[in-house]
Structure 1
């Protein structure tokens, strides 16, 4: 039970970090396109 909770928390943290990373990449690419155009 504890192991399952730990795994769930870990996967949630990984998903959160992936979401933040995707937001940063999207923001950078959008600003890059804005600067180029």
Structure 2
């Protein structure tokens, strides 16, 4: 995935596991809940 940040030429590709590890997230948010 490509997290939204900076411009197209400064983006980095991360796996979901890499994103979880580097962001130090606690949990995922269900943004589709109720749809």
Report TM bin, short chain. Answer: under 0.3
TM-score, length of structure 1 as denominator length: 0.16
Q: Whose radius of gyration is greater, 1 or 2? A: 1
- The structure carrying a bigger helix percent of its residues is 1
TM-score, length of structure 2 as denominator length: 0.16
Q: Which has the higher contact order (CA 8 A, sep 6+)?
A: 2
